[in-house]
Amino acid sequence: MYVDSVLKILLITGSFTKRAQIPFRAWLPAAIAAPTPVSSLVHSSTLVTAGVYLIFRHFYEAGDTAESFIVMVIGLSTITLASLSALNEKDIKKMVALSTLSQLGLIILSIGTGWVFIAFFHLVTHAFSPIANTMALFVSTVAALAYAPGVLRAPAVSSRARAAAMGFDQEAFIAESKEMRLKHLEEQAMFALKTSCENFDNAVFPNAMIAGDVVITDLLGRLGYLESGKCKVMCVDTFHLFDETMPFLASLEEKYKFKAEIFGPEGVPAGDKAAYDAKYGADLWREDIEQYDKVCKVEPFGRGLKTLNTDCMINGRTRWQGFERAWIDQFENAPVNGGLAKCNPIAYWTLEDVFDYIAKYKVPYHPCHENGYPSHGDLKDTIPVPSMDERAKKQEEGFTAFQNYEWVGDKTKWLDYATERLGRFVGLKNKDGSTKTECGIHVEGAEKTFDRDLWDTSTSVKELTTEDEVAAVTAKGEEAMLVVYAPWCQFCQAMEGEYDKLADAAGIPTYKFRGDEQRAYVEANLNTKSFPTINFVSADGTVTKYESEKRSVDDLKAFAASKGKVAA
């Protein structure tokens, strides 16, 4: 008797395990992770059917009241728990599994209440219905994926014959895909521009009129921000631009109904190259490229942003332009002028996207593109791509151009990654010997532009303003220190504090003379080729240049104490 009871308990427990009844219900929803056809067949046949068949046979032959009550309670509990769990489930396959579990509970409940034949009928119908449902679901899904409108299907393009047989037009597919991409980029850029112009009081677009910049110009024009003045346009004239650049700007102003603010080297009238040469020297870029960048690009750029009270700067930099810009986003804090907001609306565009947009909307583009230049800046250090110019970073024969909104030659010479500016800054080296890739506007430290004179608050450094005053110092018959400087020069700015200390420690008069406005005079009389130039003036009027790059107060004091005889 005891053995019989144990066997009955084990039999019921085993069948409940197979049938996924409480407390063994967890495996069925978990097993649903298998592919749908496989899981459906397993659940409806081998596993769960075997479990219910065991308990069905037992109760058909030897069921009793106590066992029936236990089976009924377990079946009812399984139905309740499975139903409640399904209400809180988001995975459709697990919901199906829980539904199956509740049906299994119903079969067990039927057996426990004595309706054995009804339970058996339910068992048979339940075993067949998931198979039919699965097949119907499979066929429906395949049909939906194949024919539902708006669903992208990957065409078979293993061969032209097969593509033709399927009616697949590869060229049309590519054209449509590019159009979809361009539409997305266009909407994305417009959203960035709207954000800039609607959320900031003084959005400013420094326009260099490169390909990306004319795209931004057109987008701003379409949005109405140029004509309304909600976005201001500024340009920097370095006096070394392409001859076509400023006339091209005038044509953009006429088309889009705006007036650009032009900024150039400090103290030089707009468009007066002769005045620039007289003040800064025609060969400043050859003598010191970093000072040239400061004078002609960084300082005017910063002054322009300050003059226009810029709080958001819009520009045409893209990730495609090279590794220096590979991680930029549409919005960032600019390193210039105190960290104002910086919007890069076309940050995620390739150069091909840019020219596709230009061609699509017939946007005016810089004439240099028709002559083989993918980008442009200063004419002095810009060459076509490809080019056999000895200064070229990559010498290649051939000719590529964008003429009448169509490509001439091999467009990949322009459109490969980081080749847009391949013809820019050719032959230029930074002071540390590295190849120049940026003009200095977008780098750290660019905010240190000239907006005041040097030593303007010093009580020890005396100012000389005219040639006559300099001559009076050299003829005075006393020793002195004299620095020839330019307030925009970063090296002059760096030594300002040390020279001020020298004035207090040297024990001799210490003077400053601004040389960038009188270059011919300082070159002829004060040993000046670049800034700063520090001189010792002896009692007999001889002016000796300090040749060392070490400009600490101790080094300068030693030079003064030696009466100008310390070796560089």
Q: What are 278-315's pLDDT values in tens digits?
A: 888 888 888 888 888 888 998 899 889 989 999 999 99
Q: What is the pLDDT of residue 517?
A: 73
- CB-CB neighbours of 148 under 10 Å: 9
Helix axes 36-44, 46-62, angle to 10 degrees: 10
Q: What is the pLDDT of residue 3?
A: 60
pLDDT at 46 over 70: no
pLDDT at 248 over 80: yes
The least confident of 89-93, 286-290, 528-532 is: 89-93
Q: What is the pLDDT of residue 444?
A: 47
Q: What is the pLDDT of residue 364?
A: 97
Q: What is the pLDDT of residue 346?
A: 97
What is the residue type of 271? G
Whole-angstrom Cα distance, residue 305 to residue 419? 29
pLDDT at 72 over 80: no
> Which residues lie below 8 Å from residue 2, measured CB to CB, with a gap of 6+?
none
Stretch 550-562: mean pLDDT? 90
- With a pLDDT cut of 70, the percent of the chain lying above it is 73
Stretch 6-25: mean pLDDT? 63
Stretch 415-426: mean pLDDT? 90
Q: What is the pLDDT of residue 389?
A: 93
pLDDT at 149 over 50: no
Domains of the chain are: 2-140 (no CATH), 180-370 (3.40.50.620), 461-561 (3.40.30.10)
Q: What is the pLDDT of residue 6?
A: 64
Whole-angstrom Cα distance, residue 167 to residue 155? 10
Q: What is the pLDDT of residue 429?
A: 74
- With a pLDDT cut of 90, the percent of the chain lying above it is 43
Q: Which of 169-173, 432-436, 536-540 has the highest mean pLDDT?
A: 536-540
Whole-angstrom Cα distance, residue 302 to residue 308? 10
pLDDT at 399 over 90: yes
- The residue with greater pLDDT, 297 or 445, is 297
- The residue with greater pLDDT, 206 or 549, is 206
Whole-angstrom Cα distance, residue 324 to residue 484? 35
- The residue with greater pLDDT, 259 or 146, is 259
Q: What is the pLDDT of residue 565?
A: 76
- The backbone region for 316, taken as left when phi is positive above 0, alpha when psi lies in -120 to 50, beta otherwise, is alpha
Stretch 87-115: mean pLDDT? 72
Exposed, middle or buried by CB within 10 Å (0-12, 13-18, 19+), for 322? middle
- CB-CB neighbours of 117 under 10 Å: 11
Q: What is the pLDDT of residue 139?
A: 59
- The residue with greater pLDDT, 422 or 16, is 422
pLDDT one-digit tens code per residue, 20-37:
566 665 666 666 655 655
- The residue with greater pLDDT, 71 or 533, is 533
468 falls in which pLDDT band (50, 70, 90)? very high
pLDDT at 194 over 80: yes
Q: What is the pLDDT of residue 121?
A: 73
pLDDT one-digit tens code per residue, 217-242:
999 999 999 999 999 999 999 999 99
pLDDT one-digit tens code per residue, 315-366:
999 999 887 788 889 998 765 555 688 999 999 999 999 999 999 999 999 9
The least confident of 68-77, 130-139, 336-345, 365-374 is: 130-139
63: which 2 tokens? 């069921």
446 falls in which pLDDT band (50, 70, 90)? very low
Q: What is the pLDDT of residue 182?
A: 95
Stretch 34-62: mean pLDDT? 57
Q: What is the pLDDT of residue 449?
A: 44
Q: What is the pLDDT of residue 245?
A: 96
3-state secondary structure of 90: coil
Q: Which of 14-18, 56-60, 303-307 has the highest mean pLDDT?
A: 303-307
Q: What is the pLDDT of residue 276?
A: 92
Stretch 259-269: mean pLDDT? 93
Whole-angstrom Cα distance, residue 366 to residue 57? 90
Residue closest to 294 by CA, chosen among 514, 445, 496: 445
Place of tokens 């034949």: 117
Whole-angstrom Cα distance, residue 535 to residue 547? 9
Q: What is the pLDDT of residue 69?
A: 76
Q: What is the pLDDT of residue 253?
A: 97
Stretch 114-123: mean pLDDT? 71
- The residue with greater pLDDT, 65 or 473, is 473
248: which 2 tokens? 């091209």
Whole-angstrom Cα distance, residue 546 to residue 549? 9
- The residue with greater pLDDT, 466 or 63, is 466
The least confident of 52-61, 93-102, 541-550 is: 52-61
Q: Which residues of 27-63 are buried (b: 16+ CB within 10 A; e: fewer)?
A: ebbeebeeebeebbbbbbeebbbebbebbbebbeeeb
User: What's the mean per-residue pLDDT of the chain?
Assistant: 81
285: which 2 tokens? 């870029």
Whole-angstrom Cα distance, residue 450 to residue 442? 17
435 falls in which pLDDT band (50, 70, 90)? low
> Which residues lie below 8 Å from residue 451, measured CB to CB, with a gap of 6+?
302, 303, 306
Strand partners, 429: 435
N-to-C CA span, the chain? 114
Q: Is the dihedral of CA 38, 44, 46, 48 positive or negative?
A: positive
pLDDT at 9 over 70: no
